[in-house]
Amino acid sequence: MLELLRTYGKSIHTWAIDISPDLPLGPPNLMMSYTGEGQGPPEQMIKKRDETCGMNTDAKKELRKGYLPSYNVVDGSDEWEKTEKGITFEARECDLKP
C-alpha cells in the first residue's frame, strides 16, 4: 500500500468488464479514486449495504485512518477536481518504425 499511496489513486484499466467479462481486454481508461467525502455512492445506498451485509462503514473509515502515514499532495495531482476535465485515450493508426 505504501507504493500505491503516492499514485493518488490513478491507474489505467484495460479490462472492460461490462463488455468482455471473461477476457481482460478493452480500451485503456484512466481511473481515479475518490478524494473526499460525498464523491462515492449516496449515503442511503451505503446504509442499506451496511444493514444487509452487517458492515459498519464509519468504523472501517476510522480504522483505516491509521493504515498509512499522512503526506502532502503534490500540486496538480488532482487537477480534474478543479477543471472538471478528464483524459481519454484514442486509437489511431500510425507508422511503425523498425
53-94 pLDDT, tens digit per residue, is 999 999 998 988 888 787 788 888 888 888 988 888 888 899
Average pLDDT of every residue of the chain: 85
Is the pLDDT confidence value at 6 over 80?
no
Residue 21 domain flag: yes
Q: Are 13 and 29 in contact (CB under 8 A)?
A: yes
Residue range(s) defining the domain that contains residue 75: 2-83
Number of domains forming the structure of the chain:
1
Residue 55 domain flag: yes
Which of 5, 27, 32, 3 has its CA nearest to residue 16? 27
Residue 93 domain flag: no
Residue 65 domain flag: yes
pTM of the model: 0.54
Residue 94 domain flag: no
Residue 13's region, left for phi above 0, alpha for psi from -120 to 50, else beta, is beta
Residue 58 domain flag: yes
Segment 35-44 mean pLDDT? 86
Identify the band that residue 21 occupies on the pLDDT scale cut at 50, 70 and 90: confident
Per-residue pLDDT at 57: 94
Residue 92 domain flag: no
